[in-house]
Structures are given as C-alpha cells and as structure tokens.
Amino acid sequence: MANARIGIIGTGIMGTDHALILEAGVAGAELAGVQDANRDRAEALARQTGARVFADPQSLISDPGIDAVMVCSPDATHHPLALAAIGAGKPVLVEKPLASTLKEARDVIDAEIKHGRRLVQVGFMRRFDPGYRAMKAELAGGRLGQALFLHCIHRNAVAPDYVTSDLVIASSAGHEFDIARFLLDDEIVSASVTSPRASRLAPGRQPQFIVLETARGVVVDIEVFVDCGYGYDVRGELVCEKGTISLNPSPPTSLRHAGHDGHETPPDWRDRFRHAYRAQMEAWIASLSGKPNDGASAWDGYRAIRVTEACLEAWRSGDRIAVPVEDRPGFYL
Ligand code: ISE
C-alpha cells in the first residue's frame, strides 16, 4: 500500500518536531507538505525534508496530494483547521488543545459525527509514554487494588512571556486532565484551584495547585509550575489500596561527577516525551489504514476543555466547581 502523504500546518516547535520524526522514517507515511504563516520558516523545513510548501492551510488541506493533516499552528487555529480537515474528509491529528472554548470543541464533535467517520485525534501524546502505559496496565492488572490518589507534578524550566496564569491551566495542566482520565478510566467531576504567591522570577503568572475528584472517588492533585528554572520535570504517582506506582524520570543513565549524583533533567517536553511522540505518530499512521488506536479522540479533547473551564472558574472564584459529566456519544465508544 502507498505511503500516507502527510501535510503539516504550523512549522514551529511542534510542527518541526513531528516533521523530523516523519523524516527519520515512520512505516506507512511520508512528509509531503508543510505550511506556516511565516513562509520562510516553512521553506527552511521544506529544504531540510523535501516537502512541498503550501501558501495557506486550506490549500494544503484540500490538495489531492495530501492524505492526512497535522495541525500544529497556534491554539486559536486548531478549531477552524480541524473543521476544515473534517470538511475535506481527511484524518487530522490536532495538537492540544482541540479548541479554545467548549463551544468550539463541541462544533468539532458535531462536525465529526455528522461526517460519520472518526477523523480527529488530539495530540495528548502522554497516552503513548511507556511509563504512563505501564501505570495504566498495572492498575488494570488489579494487584494494587483500587486507585485512591493520583499525584502529578508538571514543571517547565521557563515559559514565554505570553503564557498567562489561565494558559498554564489550559495548555500545561490540560495534559494532566487527559492523562488522569486515561489512566483511571474515569471522569472528573469537580475542580478546586489555589495558587501560592508568584515566583519573583516570573511575577506575571502564578503557579497552580489543582485538586480534582473523579466520579469513582479518586482524588487527583496537580502542581503546575512553568517557571521552575532547573528543567522540564513531569512526575506522577498513583496511590492504590495495596501499593503505589510512580513514573521514573526518563534518562536511562545517571551520573556521578564533581560533587553531583543524579540524572540530567531535559530542557523541555520534546526530549522527555520523545518516545511518546514517536509512538503517537506510529499509532496515528497505523490508524489511517484501520488499525485501532487509543489516542485521544475529539471527545477526549472536549472533556479536557470541560475540566479546563471548571478550573478557570474555580481559580477565579476560589470555589469548588462541579464539572458536568455528559454521556459519551455512541460514536466515541
Ligand atoms: C507545552 O505546550 C506542552 O504541550 C508540553 O507538553 C507541556 O508539558 C508544557 O507545559 C506546555 O507548555
């Protein structure tokens, strides 16, 4: 069977990373096109990869030489471009978040259901991380008993100035909302958020401490601190009735040298989750020829935004906010 010809919209950090994964070789796929609002940036990536450069997103989406699309452009474009891909009947992997509002996310779901075939996957790549998958399998195996707590830490070394406290919830904590639902196979039903004072090194935004409750009675706590300075650090510990299971840091080695004993902390998520990004790509490409895939659906993207909106309300009001749980449409079962 011919390779699926992939077009990437947005050639910034994530678009480039995905392009280089494809370039390094993914069975069944080839990078065929790139597009970016900054044409020079798209052209630079095209020179490196041999992909065609498209003038605008719609011409890439509708081109007969493109079979499937990755949307890696700024967050506000995710919703219209996901709708455009559905309109063209082409599979689309949309970087998270699926949309900027709940209403927009609902539009994507409605359009996909109307189209009648699943086309959208959301780039919650942690679902493909070997550590999280092992945690999920261990919980399902039953030896630890039922889950009680999920403790999560999400730290970035540094965030750009445009990242507001709200965006910390939407963009960074969104990963935790999705991974909690995925690991626990449960829905989040309430959210509370509190913050310490802002770091003097990043006075413009506050770290967050989020507490979620799930329908089956698990408590999930999340520290999100995107200015920790020392590196990218994601941790998780699932506490169950008869034991716990934690993520290990990703480096395969640790180093003792010059009074230091430990392991390197990666600068950002691309390195920490490199296996997850590749595995996500492989699973998505395999799904284009019909292989089942447990990547995040548009429904999962919608639920993450539901929780985001509750967290934003909880943060502003100081109240514990209920997260409405709707029935999952049969289309997404
Ligand atoms: C970034 O946008 C990502 O998606 C990373 O995975 C996340 O860990 C980071 O906090 C975000 O800023």
For residues 105 and 131, state if they share a domain.
no
Residue 140 CB contacts under 8 Å (≥ 6 apart), including other chains? none
Q: Which atom of ligand 1 is nearest to the CA of 234?
A: 8
Residue 241 CB contacts under 8 Å (≥ 6 apart), including other chains? 144, 145, 146, 148
Residue among 269, 274, 275, 277 to mutate when testing ligand 1 (max atoms within 8 A of CB): 269
Structural domains in the chain (count): 2
With respect to residue 297, please indicate whether it lies within any of the assigned structural domains. no
Task: Lay out the sheet containing 321-322: strands in order across.
Answer: 243-246, 233-240, 147-155, 219-225, 208-214, 188-194, 321-322
Query: Do 91 and 288 meet the contact criterion of CB atoms below 8 Å apart?
Result: yes
For residues 222 and 317, state if they share a domain.
yes
Peptide bond connecting 97 to the previous residue in cis, omega within 30 degrees of 0: yes
Q: Which atom of ligand 1 is nearest to the CA of 273?
A: 6
For residues 94 and 147, state if they share a domain.
no
Query: Do 296 and 287 meet the contact criterion of CB atoms below 8 Å apart?
Result: no
- Report the chain's terminal Cα–Cα distance, integer Å: 29
For residues 11 and 78, state if they share a domain.
yes
Q: Which two tokens stand for residue 268?
A: 């950002």
Query: Do 287 and 161 meet the contact criterion of CB atoms below 8 Å apart?
Result: no
* Residue finishing a domain among 85, 118, 151: 118
Going from the Cα of 171 to the center of ligand 1, the distance in angstroms, rounded, reads 6
Phi, psi at residue 264, to the nearest 5°? -70, 145
For residues 161 and 97, state if they share a domain.
no
Going from the Cα of 179 to the center of ligand 1, the distance in angstroms, rounded, reads 13
Domain of 319 in residue numbering reads as: 127-276+303-332
Rg (Cα) of the chain, in Å, rounded?
A: 20
Closest residue (by CA) to atom 3 of ligand 1?
Answer: 172
Q: What is the CATH number of the domain that holds 214?
A: 3.30.360.10
Residue among 75, 153, 156, 265 to mutate when testing ligand 1 (max atoms within 8 A of CB): 156
Residues with CB under 6 A from ligand 1: 156, 171-172, 175, 226, 269
The pLDDT profile of the chain, 333 residues, written as one tens digit per residue, is: 799 999 999 999 999 999 999 999 999 999 999 999 999 999 999 999 999 999 999 999 999 999 999 999 999 999 999 999 999 999 999 999 999 999 999 999 999 999 999 999 999 999 999 999 999 999 999 999 999 999 999 999 999 999 999 999 999 999 999 999 999 999 999 999 999 999 999 998 999 999 999 999 999 999 999 999 999 999 999 999 999 999 988 787 888 999 999 988 999 999 999 999 999 999 999 999 999 999 999 999 999 999 999 999 999 999 999 999 999 999 999
Q: Which two tokens stand for residue 105?
A: 């996310």
For residues 132 and 92, state if they share a domain.
no
Going from the Cα of 154 to the center of ligand 1, the distance in angstroms, rounded, reads 9
Q: Exposed/middle/buried for 257, CB within 10 Å: 0-12, 13-18, 19+?
A: exposed
Going from the Cα of 224 to the center of ligand 1, the distance in angstroms, rounded, reads 11
Going from the Cα of 165 to the center of ligand 1, the distance in angstroms, rounded, reads 14
SS3 143: coil
Query: Do 179 and 126 meet the contact criterion of CB atoms below 8 Å apart?
Result: yes
Closest residue (by CA) to atom 10 of ligand 1?
Answer: 172
Going from the Cα of 266 to the center of ligand 1, the distance in angstroms, rounded, reads 13
Q: Which atom of ligand 1 is nearest to the CA of 232?
A: 8
- Cα separation of 163 and 287, whole Å? 34
Going from the Cα of 96 to the center of ligand 1, the distance in angstroms, rounded, reads 9
Q: In the chain, count H helices and then E strands.
A: 11, 16
- Given this model, what pLDDT does residue 126 score? 98
For residues 216 and 265, state if they share a domain.
yes
Residue among 14, 78, 171 to mutate when testing ligand 1 (max atoms within 8 A of CB): 171
Q: Which atom of ligand 1 is nearest to the CA of 224?
A: 10
Closest residue (by CA) to atom 11 of ligand 1?
Answer: 172
Q: Where are the alpha helices (DSSP H) in 118-265?
A: 130-141, 165-167, 174-184
With respect to residue 83, please indicate whether it lies within any of the assigned structural domains. yes
With respect to residue 282, please indicate whether it lies within any of the assigned structural domains. no
SS3 225: strand
With respect to residue 298, please indicate whether it lies within any of the assigned structural domains. no
With respect to residue 295, please indicate whether it lies within any of the assigned structural domains. no
For residues 319 and 201, state if they share a domain.
yes
Phi, psi at residue 240, to the nearest 5°? -120, 180
- Given this model, what pLDDT does residue 43 score? 98
Task: Lay out the sheet containing 4-9: strands in order across.
Answer: 52-53, 29-35, 4-9, 68-71, 92-94, 120-122, 296-297
Going from the Cα of 160 to the center of ligand 1, the distance in angstroms, rounded, reads 11
- Given this model, what pLDDT does residue 252 score? 78
